Amino acid sequence: MQWSDDAVVYQIYLRSFADADGDGIGDLAGLRSRLGYLRSLGVDALWLNPCFRSPQVDHGYDVSDYFTIDPAYGDLAAFDALLATAHEQGLRVLLDLVPNHCSTQHPWFLEAAAAPPGSPERARFHFRPGRGPAGDEPPNNWQSVFGGPAWTRLVDGPYPGDWYLHAFDPAQPDFNWANPEVEALFDDVLRFWFARGVDGFRVDVAHGLHKHPDLADWPGGEGTHNAHMWNQAPVHDVYRRWRKIADEYDAAFVGEVWVPSAQELAPYQSPDELGQVFSFDLLVQPWHGPSLREAIDRTQAMVGADSAAAWVLANHDVHRAVTRYGQEQVLDAPDATDMIAAARREGPADLELGTRRARAAVMLLLALPGAAYLYQGEELGLPEVLDLPDGARQDPIWLRSGGTELGRDGCRVPMPWTPDGPTLGFSPDDSRPAWLPQPATFAALAVSNQDADPRSMLTLYRRAVAARRTAFPASEATRPLHWIDTGDEHVVAFRRGSATCVVTTGTTSFPLPPAWGDVLLASGPVADGTLPPDACAWLSAVPDGEAPHPLTPAAAGTTKES
Ligand code: NOJ
């Protein structure tokens, strides 16, 4: 078992967490000053979105130097200080590795742009002549994730004319992973940060590194999963190699992998590769018992017996949970070619309803066997900010779609720490404005308002993270859960070890069978032993030797476990 198998990991979107130097952008010193807050949440580890030197076109996912910190966030000394303080306080630190692409400002790309076609400098990327008589059509039909062709033509420099591949923004050229120099670079990057004491990495676009060797046209057409661009077999050699390096340091990985099936996901998850991949399957499900249960089953089957799942309900790429769960719930299976779209729907949201469900959802998440990843601000119940002024938006998705797609700025709005002050305590009072404006509604949700309120989302998070340790202990992290048939598909219940988790996803309440034990924690009011709709409860153990958790006849007709 690895330390991360059961970890509760808090995701820091550094730019939006806490600003110490007053430039309106969160930084390492700000984070360091707030580590006490993370301790009070009880999490085991932090994952920081990329903080390496970067022109910030995609807020750090366009790296120009993998061996230093971006000046907007601090410097190596500030990083070392953060790491040391985090470790003193018992918090591990994961960084975010971006191996699929770098920035057009990375020295290698600058060298490639200045070198002739066919040169070793260009061979670190995918450069190709264009098609058509004038070479002014892209070399193949691949589309970028952020919209438009995945190729951009070099127009400047001494050797213009060829095109380079970028799965995301033109500012993010894809590395050629068939080139051993690229492999060697990332071995060095891993060792550099592991030697500094970093405890692991989240791996960005982990399924993207290798491309079809001929960069052949994708015959499936636009809008289908491009199996020439993603998930090529040699990528698994990369992770087997990285696993050996990580094992020298007891370091962990968690992969961001979007592939159409659990079968294709499984090798990335295996302990001799990354050991953890996010279960986006759960994240993209509607608030609907059978869908949630099926996603949990699929993930558990994918994970197998020798590693642990990485559960997640929100991150910096999707709409916030209270908004998603407050919208109309779409029951169609998420589109396998663009699963993330299911977590970025627009439309009106009932935030009170969404908040009740988000409270229940996080308790479900924390009861599942494996690691749980919590995105900053979810513990405050922040909604997605859908009405940012157009001029404030910075996401390349917004910019590249010509404003037709809102993009991801709405889940990246800076944290409200206090109900007043020009940036709600995010920056010192005399600072520049926060890099994205906070809506007035954030004031009521500020940390200092929720701190001592027993009914707040923050209090629920703190209680749930603490109760998880005893109710669902680490020794159970890789063991399967046992479903309990409640007789109502909208009441999802399972036992893990000696505790039970039950979630009401429908419109009816659920009388808790006394045999399930005492309520340890509930996300909503339990009156007369009854759990209301859109709520979750954890119930305590029954003594060893007793039949585990029979349902009372009053609660449901059948007693069955699978
Ligand atoms: C996935 C990251 O989570 C996202 O924020 C980023 O834009 C893309 N990868 C490209 O690096």
Residue 56 has pLDDT above 80, yes or no: yes
- 61 within ligand 1 shell (Cβ under 6 A): yes
- Decide the pairing of beta strands 65-69 and 499-504: unpaired
Give the closest residue (by CA) to ligand 1 atom 3.
Answer: 317
| DSSP-based three-state secondary structure for 121 | coil
| Between 224 and 416, the higher pLDDT residue | 416
Tokens of 286: 């509607």
Residue 195 has pLDDT above 80, yes or no: yes
Give the CA angle between residues 369, 317, 64 to the nearest 5°: 110
Question: If you average pLDDT over residues 500-513, what whole number do you get?
Answer: 97
Give the closest residue (by CA) to ligand 1 atom 6.
Answer: 61
pLDDT tens digits, one per residue of 326-365: 999 999 988 888 889 999 999 999 999 999 999 999 999 9
Residue 556 has pLDDT above 50, yes or no: no
Residue 276 has pLDDT above 80, yes or no: yes
% of residues, the chain, pLDDT over 90 = 91
Residue 562 has pLDDT above 50, yes or no: no
Residue 258 Cα to ligand 1 middle (Å)? 11
Residue 549 has pLDDT above 80, yes or no: no
Residue 16 Cα to ligand 1 middle (Å)? 16
Say which residues have a Cβ less than 8 Å from residue 516's Cβ, sequence separation at least 6: 500, 502, 539, 542, 549
The number of beta carbons lying within 10 Å of the beta carbon of residue 295 is 19
Give the closest residue (by CA) to ligand 1 atom 5.
Answer: 317
- 280 within ligand 1 shell (Cβ under 6 A): no
Quote the pLDDT of residue 558.
31
Question: If you average pLDDT over residues 41-55, what whole number do you get?
Answer: 98
Look over the chain and give the mean of its residue pLDDT values, rounded to a whole number. 94
Let me know: does 355 contact 457? Beta carbons within 8 Å.
Answer: yes
Quote the pLDDT of residue 543.
54
Candidate from 138-142, 313-317, 345-349, 551-555 with smallest mean pLDDT: 551-555
Residue 317 Cα to ligand 1 middle (Å)? 7
Let me know: does 28 contact 78? Beta carbons within 8 Å.
Answer: yes
Tokens of 97: 């590795």
Q: Catalytic residue numbers?
A: 204, 248
Band (pLDDT 50/70/90 cuts) for residue 31 is very high
pLDDT tens digits, one per residue of 484-502: 999 999 999 999 988 999 9
Quote the pLDDT of residue 561.
34
Q: How far apart are CA 167 and CA 215, in angstroms?
A: 12
Residue 555 has pLDDT above 50, yes or no: no
Sign of CA dihedral 361, 364, 369, 373: positive
Residue 142 has pLDDT above 70, yes or no: yes
Beta bridge partners of 484: 493, 561
Quote the pLDDT of residue 478.
72
Band (pLDDT 50/70/90 cuts) for residue 480 is confident
Q: pTM higher than 0.85, yes or no?
A: yes
Q: What atom of ligand 1 comes closest to residue 167's alpha carbon?
A: 10
Residue 61 Cα to ligand 1 middle (Å)? 6
Band (pLDDT 50/70/90 cuts) for residue 221 is confident
For ligand 1, pick from 96, 144, 168, 315 the residue to mutate: most ligand atoms within 8 Å of CB.
Answer: 168
**Alpha-carbon distances, residue 62 vs 53, 102, 172, 433 (angstroms):** 9, 5, 6, 24
Give the closest residue (by CA) to ligand 1 atom 2.
Answer: 204
For ligand 1, pick from 47, 49, 56, 58 the residue to mutate: most ligand atoms within 8 Å of CB.
Answer: 58
Say which residues have a Cβ less than 8 Å from residue 483's Cβ, sequence separation at least 6: 293, 493, 494, 561, 562
Q: What atom of ligand 1 comes closest to residue 101's alpha carbon?
A: 11
Question: If you average pLDDT over residues 360-372, what whole number do you get?
Answer: 97
Quote the pLDDT of residue 542.
56
Residue 71 Cα to ligand 1 middle (Å)? 21
User: How many angstroms separate the first and last alpha carbons of the chain?
Assistant: 25
Quote the pLDDT of residue 143.
95
- 205 within ligand 1 shell (Cβ under 6 A): yes
Question: If you average pLDDT over residues 298-312, what whole number do you get?
Answer: 94
Nearest by Cα to 332 from 288, 300, 384? 288
Q: How far apart are CA 380 and CA 435, in angstroms?
A: 20
Say which residues have a Cβ less than 8 Å from residue 179's Cβ, sequence separation at least 6: 123, 124
